[in-house]
DNA sequence: GAGCTACATCGTAAATGGTTACCGTCAAAT
DNA sequence: ATTTGACGGTAACCATTTACGATGTAGCTC
């Protein structure tokens, strides 16, 4: 038994001849090692748990792809759990993942609350937050700087001469895509000495339809904005279509910018100018970080902020007075 | 030990009072059952393996969501493995999934070859194919009828008076999205007595860019088609933009139809007319089928074909002579 | 009231399929 | 002959489940 274990695990303490005999027997018997027994004995499962808000959301799917690729590279498997940003469900899957003795946990989601922290603390294995972070900064995380990303987006509008800039925001309850991006918008206005006007902000739900709706509202204003900053590409695309449906043009009549750079941003007319967040890399870097933690390597900086980049395409123009 | 096991597993043979004491101890000690040991002893892991070509592809992501929801409903977890339709990698992940003692396997991919079958045969647990099938029909599967879906698509073009109908196909090596949809195109032409013309078919790679390219080719023809059938929505949207970039209009100058009905189909102008394949349901039904198989329930029809539906939106018009 | 049965409850120990610490053996080298 | 190191085997261990047996209690019969 021990010898078989050694050859299966590539332990050098076995004569090549014996190794060969074992391999032949394995072949002949159709033996397949049982990873569950192995996991019990070795206390390692070579699988990591991933909690994700919604795999059918292209942003998270792209992040997941990054996670999977790196996990695969290090021979880990992934247990994937959708949790829809519902706290109660998140806590539940964290616990079942921990019961399954995953070697590490990758958490994506919206807010991480006190209850999340409590669940995390019961964990014997490392946890990293991906595309989110905890307020206190006690857990390793990889994310972008949403506020600065939004700031940069609004700023490129301002540099193009716009001063009537509306925003289609997400809910302010959401710390990253919602609140932070909204703060970036406000700060950019402030830095340019532009007064913040409440009726130039609409709250959407990140989706296309809410972008359409929000833009309809702006189009109904007596004093219309000249540019729109949307918190997500999807809402931006909704806004574009809302404008085009009225017979108006982007960027001639309105400039549009947003944050994300989903694939669709280069599959619309006009091509969407947006601040790219490196989705694949968010996942990849988070997973890489987790592998280090699982190997108990010391990591210099466990809270990484990935750079964003504004991609100038065709939906932003100089203001048209 | 046995008693604890009984209360944890909700076995009725335990006095309420004892049960309570056990729960208190669990609470006090912070005991968390070890699913790995449980799996070893019970020979069940309550996890199923899913091999998927690419989770960042929105179609598969949507299917995966269906799988996950149903799995969750039956208290299964999902081990997700990307395999990129690469046979060698598919075989490899099938084996590691089986080593992990998954209770069942859901296979999505392109072709299922003889080697796949061999790998499947070593499995002690049920396997179902999702969005694909094996030629011999030996394995349970859930899929749509790609040929008929394509047939229906082309047919609605024909019913709108079109006779010069081009196709942007996928590779004919791919049995489902490629070959079958192409066959549907040919048969629809044939049924309408329209001659098949080789230079009205271009092969793409399912992606947006290849749709753009293919359409450029058609626009360069002396005798242009009046309608285009694309094997996927993405290519159709590429074609639409290719047309619009030339200052021409959809559907005035060209009618466009395709198969899939991805979210983006209702996020373009004009809204894309397409034959919908029920992606979420493909996943959900496949997973449901797998749960039955895992419970050793007998299932009447293990090879299910889900219905498709043509969604009339705005990219198809009556021909304009 | 003793004895018996039946049943509910609980504990014991084997089994699950590996890993690994430890020890014994053997051949080669000193 | 002794030492050394490579190699292989033994058995403990991992945390559960589960078959089976032990225990206790209540109810019943005589």
The reported pTM is 0.95
Find, in chain B, the residue whose alpha carbon is nearest to that of A60. B56
Q: Do A36 and B39 touch (CB under 8 A)?
A: yes
Distances (CA, A) of A65 to A69, A116, A176, B51, B264: 6, 24, 21, 13, 20
- If pLDDT is split at 50, 70 and 90, which confidence band does B261 have? very high
Would you give per-residue pLDDT tens digits along chain A (321 residues)? 889 999 999 888 899 889 999 999 999 999 999 999 999 999 999 999 999 999 999 999 999 999 999 999 999 999 999 999 999 999 999 999 999 999 999 999 889 999 999 999 999 999 999 999 999 999 999 999 999 999 999 999 999 999 999 999 999 999 999 999 999 999 999 999 999 999 999 999 999 999 999 999 999 999 999 999 999 999 999 999 999 999 999 999 999 999 999 999 999 999 999 999 999 999 999 999 999 999 999 999 999 999 999 999 999 999 875
**pLDDT of the residue at A283:** 98
**pLDDT of the residue at A109:** 84
Distances (CA, A) of A228 to A165, A298, A319, B261: 6, 44, 12, 29
Token pair in block for residue A146? 């949403």
Distance CA B181, CA B145 (A): 9
B77-82 and B104-107 strand pairing: unpaired
Q: Is the pLDDT of residue B320 over 80?
A: no
Closest residue, by C-alpha, to the C1' of C8: B13
Q: Is B36 on the interface with A (CB under 8 A)?
A: yes
Distance from CA of A151 to the nearest CA of B (A): 27
A141-144 and A165-169 strand pairing: unpaired
Q: Which helix (H) or strand (E) holds B3?
A: helix B2-8
Sheet of A104-107, strand order: A303-306, A141-144, A127-130, A104-107, A47-52, A77-82, B77-82, B47-52, B104-107, B127-130, B141-144, B303-306
**pLDDT of the residue at B149:** 98
Q: Which of A178, A182, A244 is CA-nearest to residue A215?
A: A244
Handedness of CA B298, B301, B303, B305 (dihedral sign): negative
**Main-chain phi, psi angles of A128, to 5 degrees:** -130, 145
**pLDDT of the residue at B126:** 97
Distance from CA of B102 to the nearest CA of A (A): 10
Helices (H), A35-113: 35-42, 58-73, 87-99
Handedness of CA B162, B164, B168, B172 (dihedral sign): positive
Q: Do B267 and A79 touch (CB under 8 A)?
A: no
pLDDT in tens, B58-83: 999 999 999 999 999 999 999 999 99
In the predicted model, what is the mean pLDDT of chain B?
Answer: 96
Distance CA B225, CA B230 (A): 13
Q: Is B78 on the interface with A (CB under 8 A)?
A: yes
Closest residue, by C-alpha, to the C1' of C21: A2
Q: Is A35 on the interface with B (CB under 8 A)?
A: yes
Nucleotide showing the shortest C1' distance to residue A43 CA? D14
Question: What's the first-to-final CA gap in chain B, in angstroms?
Answer: 83
- Selected residue of B37, B68, B80 to mutate for chain A interface (largest A Cβ count, 10 A): B80
The reply to whether the CB atom of residue B2 sits less than 7 A from any atom in nucleic acid chain C is yes
| Cβ atoms of A123 and A98 closer than 8 Å | yes
Q: Is the pLDDT of residue B321 over 80?
A: no
Interface of B with A in 89-108 (CB under 8 A): 95-101
Mean pLDDT of B273-299: 97
Mean pLDDT of B185-200: 97
pLDDT in tens, A128-143: 999 999 999 999 999 9
Interface of B with A in 113-132 (CB under 8 A): 122
Residue that is written with structure tokens 């690729």 in the block:
A69
Distance CA B91, CA B81 (A): 11
| Per-residue 3-state assignment (H helix, E strand, C coil) for B95-141 | HHHHHCCCCEEEECCCCCCHHHHHHHHCCCCCEEEECCCCCCCCCCE
Mean pLDDT of B33-59: 97
Token pair in block for residue B316? 């198809």
**Main-chain phi, psi angles of B261, to 5 degrees:** 65, 55
Q: Is B280 left (phi over 0), alpha (psi -120 to 50) or beta?
A: alpha
């Amino acid at each position: 038994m021990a010898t078989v274990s050694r050859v299966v695990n590539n332990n050098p303490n076995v004569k090549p001849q014996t190794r060969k005999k074992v391999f032949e027997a394995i072949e002949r018997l159709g033996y397949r090692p049982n990873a569950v027994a192995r996991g019990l004995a070795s206390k390692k499962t070579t699988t990591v748990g991933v909690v994700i808000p919604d795999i059918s959301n292209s942003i998270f799917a792209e992040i997941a792809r990054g996670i999977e690729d790196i996990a695969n590279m290090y021979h880990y498997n992934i247990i994937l759990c959708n949790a829809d940003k519902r706290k109660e469900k998140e806590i539940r899957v964290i616990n079942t993942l921990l019961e399954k003795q995953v070697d590490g946990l990758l958490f994506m989601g919206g807010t991480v609350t006190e209850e999340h922290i409590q669940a995390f603390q019961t964990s014997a294995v490392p946890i990293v937050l991906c595309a989110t972070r905890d307020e206190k900064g006690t857990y390793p995380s990889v994310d972008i700087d949403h506020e600065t990303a939004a700031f940069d987006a609004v700023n490129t509008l301002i540099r193009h001469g716009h001063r009537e800039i509306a925003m289609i925001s997400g809910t302010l309850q959401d710390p990253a895509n919602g609140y932070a991006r909204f703060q970036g918008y406000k700060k950019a206005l402030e830095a340019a000495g532009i007064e913040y006007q409440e009726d130039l902000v609409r709250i959407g739900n990140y989706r296309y339809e809410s972008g359409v709706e929000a833009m309809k509202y702006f189009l109904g204003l007596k004093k219309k904005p000249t540019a729109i900053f949307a918190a997500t590409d999807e809402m931006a695309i909704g806004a574009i279509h809302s404008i085009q449906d009225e017979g108006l043009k982007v960027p001639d009549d309105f400039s549009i910018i947003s944050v994300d750079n989903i694939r669709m941003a280069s599959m619309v007319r006009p091509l969407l100018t947006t601040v790219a967040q490196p989705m694949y890399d968010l996942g990849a870097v988070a997973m890489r970080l987790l592998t280090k933690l699982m190997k108990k390597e010391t990591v210099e900086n466990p809270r990484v902020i990935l750079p964003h980049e504004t991609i100038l395409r065709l939906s932003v123009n100089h203001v048209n007075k």
